[in-house]
Each structure stands twice: as C-alpha cells, then as structure tokens.
Amino acid sequence: MSLMHTLRSVVGGPVRWYMTRRGLVFAALLVLAAILALATEPVVGLLVLIAATAFVIPLELSSLRREMLHKNTVVVTRLDHAETVIGETLSKQGADTAEAIRIARSAKKGFQANRGRVANQRDRFAELRKSQRRLESSVDVPMASMAERLSRLEKSALSADTNADAANLDRLNTLRSDLEQLQREFKLLTDGASPNTPARAGAVTEKSLAPWQSFPRYFEPGEAGRLAHFWARRLQVDLDAKSVEYLASRSRFVESRSYGRAATTITDIVSRAIVGIAVRERDIQVLEIGALFGISSVAMADACMARNRGFKLTVIDPLEGYYDAGSDYTGLPVTSAQLRRNLQLAGLSDDEYVIHPLRSDDPAAKAAVEGQTFDVIVVDGDHSFKGAELDVVNFAPLLADDGFLIVDDYGGDDWPGVVQLGQMLENSNEWVCVGQVSRTGVFQRRLV
C-alpha cells in the first residue's frame, strides 16, 4: 500500500499539470517534435522542442510568481491578524493580572483584619475565663463556709428545739431566723447566683456556646415570658417568666453535674419539663425512646419531684454499640452505665427507672413495655419518617387517654422525616397538636 501511494504521489503531480492549458499545449508540441524527428527531420523536431520549452517555462514562472505573491499576501494578512490578537490578549492578561493583584491585596488586608479580630476575641475570651475563675473562687469559699455554718446551726436549732423553755426561747427564735436566712443564701449560691447581686445572676457567665455544646443554654430577651404564656394557655399550668427562668436554671444545673449533654436547646429542655408538670394529680410514668445521656428526662424528673410528684422513667435506646465511640461533642461514650449514673445523680432510685438497651424497632422492645401505661411518651429515636412513624405505631397505644406524646426535632429543618411525621399527626383524626415550639411538638389524642 505504501509503494502504490508513493507512485500515485510521484505520477499524480505531472499528470495534473498536463491536464492544464499550458500542459496540453506543451504536450502537443512534444508530440509534434516527436513526429518530425521520426519523419527524418530531427533538426526541426529539436527546434520545436526548444520552442515548446521556451513557451512553457516563462508561463510557469509567471504563474508561480503570481501564486507566491498571493500566498505572501495571505501570510502577511494572517500575521497582522495574529499580531492584533496577541496584542489584545496581552492587554487583557495585563488587565486580569492587575485585577488579580488588586483582589489578592484586598484579601490580604481582609485576612489581616480578621486575624486582628480573632486575636481580640481570644483576648476577650481569656479575660472572661479569668473572670469566671475569679467568680468560682469567690463563690466556692463562701459556699463551703456557709455549708459548715448551716450544719452547725441545724444542730444547734435541733438541740434548742428539744430543750426549749422560757430561758432559751429567744435564742431558739434567733437560731431559726439565722437558719432560714442561711438556707435562702445557700440555695441562691447552689443555683448559680450571688446573694448580694441576684439581678445579675449568670451575667458574667460566658453565654456563647461551649466547645462541646451545639445548642444555646440561655433564653433570648423576653423568651421566658413568651414561653410561659405559650404553654400556660395550652397545658393549663400556672407559669410566668420567673418560674420558666427557674426551670431553665435548674436544667443548666442538672446538666452541669451530669455526664454528657442534652442534644437540644434550653427552650426544648424546659418545654419537656413543663409537659411533665402538666400531668394531673398523679405520679408520672414516662417512656423515652432515644435518651442519649438522659439529661432532658433528668430535667423533667427534677421539675416533677420538686413538686412532690413521683417519677418513673422507662428508656428504650440501644446505647452500647449504636453511637460511634467518641462521636458526641463531649467525647464521652454513650452507654447504659453512663445513663444510669446520670439518673442516680438526679436522685432516682433503682426502682424508679428501667433501661432497655434495644432498638425501638426490635420486637423485644415492644414486648418489654407491653401492657404498661405512660403519661408521657417521648419519640426521639430513629429520625427517618418510617422509623419515627413506627415508634408512634408501636408505642402510642400505651399512652394514657390524657397523656402527652412529645415528638422531638419537630420544627427543625435538619430532620425532614420528623417534620413529615408531625404534619401527618396534625392532619390525622386521632391526634391534636397541643403546641409546637422550637424543636418540640406536643400531641394528645383527639377527644371523641
């Protein structure tokens, strides 16, 4: 194939030339010269051949010259165009380079400014930490001293009370008055306030989020009053801004002495506690599906037991092996032992809580609570729509007629499956939404 291609390339050029007008004339003259040579007129044939050559060569040179001029014109035109394009490109690149330099300088200035702001914030945080340590040291010493004084006064009061007569009656009354004052001051200190500055309780505490906490722990201005008004009307409970702030203070205290954290806002922790308070005139049975460290339930138990109400908690949560080790912000493992420790710190005895370390979709979990009745059921397990719906189907039949079903994370954009479940309950004929605030939805069975 390569030989044939070479032959075609060699022969093709002359053949194409001989097909032109000049080629045909030259060919005719060659034929004439050949005939004359064959007719024994070689001199005439040679002259004809020379004439043919002299005729064709100038013509070819002229044609070649015109072609070269045309190509030269084309090349010059293209070079001019290329020069123009290169000039425009270099000009644009220069402008782009200048813009890039301007942006880089602006970014450098912004970075330097941000670095300065970060340094200022770091210094401010360091000052706040120093203030916090000073506050803690200023509170710890009086608390220890006051606890000792409180113990001595209680013993003295008991001794005086058992030996009361006219001679020491005044001393007894004085002791009782001092005891009551010390009890009030001690309570203020244990709740995180200073007895001399109650209006600024918590004011020097850093209210921004701790590194291990992703949810706020303080109300926005006016939020406590709005929350009190919201739940008081819907749950028929006696609430005001001060009582809600107190519940928030107790919730923070409960969390601070527990292991782990509550994975929700202070608004939602307090809302759950209010729901527990709203259960009427009986000891409270609570089923929590998905407890993590159990701190939200501990806050509810704290609020209920403070009102002399019995509290029994049943937990369904796989715990060991379900949560990735160290995946929580605190770095602590989520285990049955951890949960049990927090419940005991809250004052719950062994017969006041039951932990079923099971997935809620495990038939054994449903069998473990079968036949029981609960005043509050908290759905805070599988946050997919199917998982949360299955929890309602399996466990809501155990809810008392006037009980409350709490759906956690109903209202947050990060769990669309839970939002879908809440909307389904609101639109059903069986349930009525008592109220929804922050990330908490509260439902009751619809009265027939």
pLDDT given for residue 312 in this prediction: 95
pTM: predicted TM-score of the whole model, two decimal places: 0.55
Task: Calculate the dihedral angle through the C-alpha atoms of 277, 280, 281, 283, rounding to the nearest 10 degrees.
Answer: -60
436 closest CA partner among 231, 273, 259, 247: 231
pLDDT given for residue 60 in this prediction: 64
Helices 223-235 and 266-278 cross at an angle (nearest 10°) of 30
The backbone torsions φ and ψ at residue 79, rounded to the nearest 5 degrees and listed phi first, read: -65, -40
pLDDT bucket at 44, cuts 50 / 70 / 90: low
* Rounded Cα distance, 201 and 191, in Å: 9
Tokens of 105: 């300088």
Domain boundaries, the chain: 1-139, 223-445
Q: Which of 135-139, 213-217, 233-237, 348-352 has the lowest mean pLDDT?
A: 135-139
The backbone torsions φ and ψ at residue 420, rounded to the nearest 5 degrees and listed phi first, read: -65, -40
The highest-confidence range among 54-58, 346-350, 441-445, by mean pLDDT, is 441-445
Better-predicted residue by pLDDT, 97 or 57: 97
pLDDT digits (tens, 9 = 90+) for 331-381: 788 889 999 999 998 889 999 999 999 999 999 999 999 999 999 999 999
The highest-confidence range among 136-150, 322-336, 367-381, by mean pLDDT, is 367-381
pLDDT given for residue 173 in this prediction: 56
**At 191, which amino acid appears?**
D
Do 237 and 243 meet the contact criterion of CB atoms below 8 Å apart? no
Sequence-ordered list of residues with C-beta below 8 angstroms from that of 375, at least 6 positions apart, any chain: 279, 282, 284, 285, 286, 399, 400, 403, 404
Give percent of the chain with pLDDT exceeding 90.
Answer: 37
Task: Match domain 223-445 to its CATH number in 3.40.50.300, 3.40.30.160, 3.50.50.60, 3.40.50.150.
Answer: 3.40.50.150
* Rounded Cα distance, 279 and 282, in Å: 7
